Amino acid sequence: MATPMSAYQNGTAVPNWLNKGDNAWQMIAATLVGLQSMPGLVILYGSIVKKKWAVNSAFMALYAFAAVIICWVTWAYKMSFGNKLLPFWGKAGPALGHSYLIVQAWLPATTQYYKNGTTETSVAVQLYPMASMVWFQCVFAAITLILLAGSLLGRMNIRAWMMFVPLWLTFSYTVGAFSLWGGGFLYHWGVADYSGGYVIHLSSGIAGFTAAYWVGPRTLSDRERFPPNNVLLMLAGAGLLWLGWAGFNGGDPYAANIDASLAVLNTNVCAATSLLVWTSLDVIFFKKPSVIGAVQGMITGLVCITPAAGLIEGWAAIVLGILSGSVPWFTMMIVHKRSSLLQQVDDTLGVFHTHAVAGFMGGILTGIFAQPELCNLFMPVTNSQGAIYGGKAGGVQVGKQIAGGLFIIGWNIVVTSIICNVIKLVIPLRMSEEDLMIGDDAVHGEEAYALWGDGEKYDKTKHGGGSNSDDNLHYATDINKTSSGATQVV
């Protein structure tokens, strides 16, 4: 028999505290963020790399997405958003039982107190079940590991990556998340990170660069020539990343409210501005617009606006876009090529520039442009405001932003280094030289395209023909080509 509708309307499936609009938006926002990773970054990574690394790069993202989900619900969610264990860490525990997941969502360590002990801001409580909060935060954790992977493409041992994901999630991501979002010391001090400029982008950029140092570089041939194998699919992945950012920044007020709307609009304004600025710089200095450069500019704009999305006005979003389209361009195209340190570390997709530089800059700019009224809609510390609005609070906010960023940087350098060296005791971090020469066929026994080309062993049974076959002629021509375009993958 069908269950009467009244059982759902009047029963516990729709408790009095549930706001259906907020719950629907939070689930949609979580889905949009999930789509950024799977299939967004899976497609982008599989397309932006050299053909022989397409499968491996896409799989690193796919594996991380799945592994994070299991670790998250088993122990990591409560380490990030549960009860306080240390000023920067929550108590580990599962988020799997129905008695925990169907109750009203709340973050137990977030009550803000004045110095005299009275309540300044009440504990963060949402109008939907804990299951929605757990899943929403899960996709944020997953994309952080996938962004980090961008620094390691084309040489990391896949078994080492399989160990790295749960270890880094546990000992690095959860610390940043609890410290800034879950009720840790940076949250209560008033460091502003609206949607992950520090928790996600600064941490992934710094950790990716650090891990790249320990893993070692790609082969010399890959570093010298690493063209994307499919520019159009790369743009498809980038498009999913851009539009998915509506959930990324629009979901972090934890409600379908006016701040969410503002955050989404600011996100798109900044991203568009940044893309146009980056492309203009490519044209001015290299005489041609680069599609890869446009994607990099889009990403830096999205990253830079993330810590500020719902805290600044529209004109400030344009300012952030101008800076995010120019400063990371300068560090990637000028500073990187002149710095011996940056040259020594093989950061495959330039994640240090697109995420660490853009994320830290966005956090500092938040301290400058945060609008007082908007801060009161989001920040637990009352009367927070940016430096341009004057007063002692404005100047202090910039200092808080810098200090918060430095904590994330320091923690990730130390912890990522420890994790890499522990893994190295068990499994080599880098693939064997033979596997590095062959690529996907050696690592996975699979190829991205039914074409013979760079990185594969020639096998007549698979590739057919003799020494004068069309495939051989095509390959001989292809290896003599050099990468074209203004902004190249670092």
DSSP string, 426-482: TS-SB--HHHHHH-HHHHTS--SSSS--TTPPP-HHHH-S-TT-HHHHHHHHHTT--
CA distance 211 to 455: 24
CA distance 72 to 77: 5
In this structure, which topology does domain 20-438 adopt according to CATH?
Answer: Ammonium transporter fold (1.10.3430)
Q: How many CA atoms lie within 13 A of 171 on its CB side?
A: 18
pLDDT at residue number 467: 45
CA distance 383 to 190: 10
* Domain extents in the chain: 20-438
Strands 84-86 and 89-90: antiparallel
Paired residues of 125 in beta bridges:
106
C-beta atoms surrounding 372 within 10 Å: 18
CA distance 185 to 179: 6
Q: What are phi and psi of 82, to 5 degrees?
A: -100, -150
Cα-based angle 44, 80, 417 (whole degrees, multiple of 5): 65
pLDDT at residue number 1: 43
pLDDT at residue number 125: 95
Helix %, strand %, coil % of the chain (to 5): 65, 5, 30
Q: Is 343 exposed, middle or buried (0-12, 13-18, 19+ CB in 10 A)?
A: exposed
Q: What is the DSSP letter of 51?
A: G
pLDDT at residue number 392: 80
CA distance 263 to 245: 10
The answer to whether 53 touches 349, Cβ cutoff 8 Å, is: no
Closest CA relative to residue 183, chosen from 255, 258, 99, 125: 125
């010391």: which residue's tokens?
A: 185
Paired residues of 84 in beta bridges:
90
Residues of the chain with pLDDT under 70: 1-11, 451-490
Using alpha carbons only, how large is the chain's radius of gyration in Å?
23
Helices 358-369 and 314-330: crossing angle, nearest 10°? 150
The answer to whether 208 touches 351, Cβ cutoff 8 Å, is: yes
The answer to whether 213 touches 345, Cβ cutoff 8 Å, is: yes
CA distance 66 to 443: 20
Is residue 17 classed as helix, strand or coil in its secondary structure?
coil
pLDDT at residue number 394: 77
Closest CA relative to residue 296, chosen from 244, 355, 346: 355
